[in-house]
Amino acid sequence: MGFGHHLQSGGDAHQALLHLMDQELKLLETIQRCIHIRIKSDREYAMALSGITTFANKHKILDIETPTLNAWNTVIEETETVSRYIKQNAEELSSVTLERITALIRDKKQTQQIYKTGRERIDQDFKQVVDQEVNKQKSKYKEAGRETSQAKRKFEESVSKGKTGRDLDSAKDRYVKKTRKLHATHNDYLLATKSAILHQNGYRETLLPRLLDSHQQNQEEIADQLKDLLSDYQKKTNLSRKEFQSSHRKVEETLAALQSKEEYNSFIQQHKHEPPPYVNIDFDKSVWEEYKDPMLEKQEVVLNNLTFETVQHSSTMFETSLRDCKAQLDEKLKQLNDKETEIAELQKLGTEGKPECGVKTREQRELSQAINELKCTEMKLTAQEEMLQSKISELGDKEPPAGIDIADVSVPPPAAGEKTGGIKKIKSIFYTGWKMGGGGGGGRQSVSSEDPDPNDLQEETNDDGYHDVNMFPAKSLTDEEWYHGAIPRTETSQLLKEEGDFLVRESSQKPGEYVLSVKWGGIPKHFIIQSNAEGQFRFEGQAFPTINQLITHQWQSRQPVTKKSGTILANPVQKDKWELSHDDVIIGEKLGRGNFGDVMRGVLKDDKTPVAVKTCRETLPKQVKDKFLMEARILKQYDHPNIVRLIGVCSQRHPVYIVMELVPNGDFLTFLRNQGGTLTTNQLVQMSLDAASGMAYLEAKNCIHRDLAARNCLVGNNNAVKISDFGMSREEEDGVYNVSGGMKQIPIKWTAPEAMNYGRYTTESDVWSYGVLLWEVFSLGSTPYPGMTNQAAREKIEHGYRMSAPENCPQEVYEVMLSCWKYQCSERPLFSDIETILQRLSKLKF
């Protein structure tokens, strides 16, 4: 069973083989990434074990020898031995195994290219000989036959009319000449036919089978190498511990059973099977394990005051998409009807119309397939739109019902001896917070602790079983170096590095509630600062008038924060140098709206520097607020004239601000649409070069932007372009960021195929987006893939379509676009290469 015999089909089998090669390449890249992660993890684990031995050797308590001490010393010595062994294995993985998998990926790409190039060449030769040459000779044969027939008829007429002399000789010579040509053409056609038959035999019996078999052998050799590599990886990662033996034995048995000659048997057999059965997709009631709401038990669309706006918005989106889908469907049906008419007319021509009829028939099938896909999409959109619209219609003009009953929310009773005023206060705060939020998620709806975390213990709950909220924090708190404002909880863990490190922050989930975060026992612990009815602050013991005094007392007295935790404050973590006070910024008029909140104009109070201030809505979920601050964390590390500059962050209280340089000419897209007509081609090249320079800088920093487009760039003085909007950006050591999930908020027309299909973002996927940005620049702000929906553009890209050059776009620039849109990401240029090309073009006169 082999490729040469079973996979000769130029259709499904060939496409399946190409798909297999792509999947195998992705597998190798996944293995490479996993090995890299394993190396990093083993190095960290070895360092941690070495840290244990260092700590133990520094804290030798007994100064006499005892069996216990000797045993402990042996444990420590063996721990150090294990540490060295793991580190050694990690270094071998890094120096040998990782290089081997990198070489294997290179060989895999080369093998893939050899097959594709060879297949295209012999397929083209086959078509040239079988189709073009035979048909060419056949046409000549027919033409020679017609000419000979005419010459013969004229010669016979001359004889019958009794012509003699020169006229008869002329007709006779023409008849002989045309007959000679006919016979020669007959021989040529016969030879061409024979050649085509032999070429086809050679193609089917030798060329194609040998190419496929050769490719299979190359694939099998790589499979052998991968087997050796995985065996080597298994050996280097086998720690020989009992709990690992069973797993390693299974791996060894599996690897030992691998035979390269049988590597593709199941794959070849797979394409003879029936389609897989339908997946059973039912509503999984396990989603109610954490929280069961009676409103959800009907398994219907929930429409209440909490969901009304989102349901209306979704219904409108589905309605718009359905309208677009139906318009496309009507257009495709019209095209199909026209195509069927053309085919009917060609069929009437018989043999003469057969070649063109075949072409039209293939186009008809493609249209039918597109119509079927659109009908499927129409069916899904109709069902989804009806689910939402039926609920909206059912509600009519009535107010949507409440999504949550406040009466169901109970407040814990006070502890013995506690005044009831505290409970009344909490109920008052609860009710006020609910009313301020409109009953729907805007206000504070409870006074419980932050979302639970695996590292959180009982320290966050006070003796009364509930948490008070400090509504009026002292202003001087913001002056403390250990007060960090409303930073995300995840960032807190990164700041606490040593045992006893501590800081105070405002809860990002519950503004107005303050948390002490301390690293203790190797993990961050979070203690909510409680306030009593008199407005004093405490943990377990003595209460103090201000949070400052409470923290100073805990720090200086070295008393545990709680008896149960034993946590002691040792080292205050000072706030970030980028931290600004809200009072440092004077807010002006609104400039626009971002994903997280409004963008405002402002000035710094001290030196009147104009700035842009991004704000974050307080009603957003905690996870979304964390993403808002991620842009600031990324920009803190960058300094480049073509990257928008961060000035500071105001996180001392809500709402949180990100303060950036004010770029006077606004976003690049609006600039192109309003002023693009006044710009010269050289100016457009220079602005494109600015964007490329900024991206080359990010490329060197292993930063993946993920949302590069004209709308996310800004235009400054002298038309300088700056890369902005890093809300989706990620920094990855290996330059690869993988995501999973749906298509929500993905800019489809700017997104590379591998990111769209597999959630795999790299600098190369940013290069694809830059190609689209380049098209935006030279089309003066037009929308990419004009006239196409997102889905239509995506489908056409997968089938090889690329946008044509905008009007007046230099060919050299269009070639840069096309290079950015290579389907294989490894074939796209680096941003540093694009920068070099555009630097050269910027010196030309267009």
Binding-site residue positions: 591-599, 614
Could you tell me the CA-to-CA distances from 380 to 320, 376, 623 in Å, in that order? 13, 6, 31
Could you tell me the CA-to-CA distances from 688 to 274, 283, 679, 693, 710 in Å, in that order? 52, 50, 13, 9, 10
What region does 391 belong to: left with phi over 0, alpha with psi -120 to 50, or beta? alpha
- From the list 464, 707, 725, 766, the catalytic residue is 707
Q: What is the DSSP letter of 399?
A: P
Nearest to 137 by CA among 186, 183, 100: 186
Which CB contacts under 8 angstroms, 24+ apart, belong to 612-617? 612/659, 612/660, 612/661, 612/662, 612/663, 613/585, 613/587, 613/657, 613/658, 613/659, 613/660, 614/657, 614/658, 614/659, 614/660, 615/655, 615/656, 615/657, 616/655, 616/656, 616/657, 616/658, 617/655
Question: Taking the CA of residue 833 as centre, how many other CA atoms within 13 Å lie in the half-sphere pointing to its CB?
Answer: 12
Q: Is-catalytic flag, 408?
A: no
For residues 70 and 100, is the Cβ–Cβ distance under 8 A?
A: no
- Residue 603's beta-bridge partner residues? 586, 610
Alpha carbon distance 167, 161 (integer Å): 11
Q: What is the DSSP letter of 667?
A: B
Nearest to 401 by CA among 440, 446, 435: 440
Alpha carbon distance 778, 808 (integer Å): 8
Nearest to 496 by CA among 477, 515, 523: 523
Give the 3-state secondary structure of residue 703. strand
For residues 45 and 86, is the Cβ–Cβ distance under 8 A?
A: yes
Alpha carbon distance 462, 824 (integer Å): 58
Alpha carbon distance 613, 148 (integer Å): 88
What region does 781 belong to: left with phi over 0, alpha with psi -120 to 50, or beta? left
Give the 3-state secondary structure of residue 571. strand
Is the bond preceding 655 in cis, omega lying within 30 degrees of 0?
yes
> Binding site for ATP: which residues?
591-599, 614
Nearest to 208 by CA among 307, 130, 316: 130
For residues 799 and 771, is the Cβ–Cβ distance under 8 A?
A: no
Alpha carbon distance 80, 75 (integer Å): 9
For residues 805 and 817, is the Cβ–Cβ distance under 8 A?
A: yes
Alpha carbon distance 525, 502 (integer Å): 9
Q: What is the DSSP letter of 277?
A: P
Give the 3-state secondary structure of residue 165. coil
- Residue 715's beta-bridge partner residues? 721
Alpha carbon distance 536, 546 (integer Å): 7
Cβ partners under 8 Å of residue 736, min gap 6 = 29, 33, 760, 761, 762
539 CB burial (10 A radius; 0-12, 13-18, 19+): buried
291 CB burial (10 A radius; 0-12, 13-18, 19+): exposed
First to last CA, the chain: 60
Nearest to 431 by CA among 411, 402, 401: 411
Query: What are the catalytic residues?
Result: 707
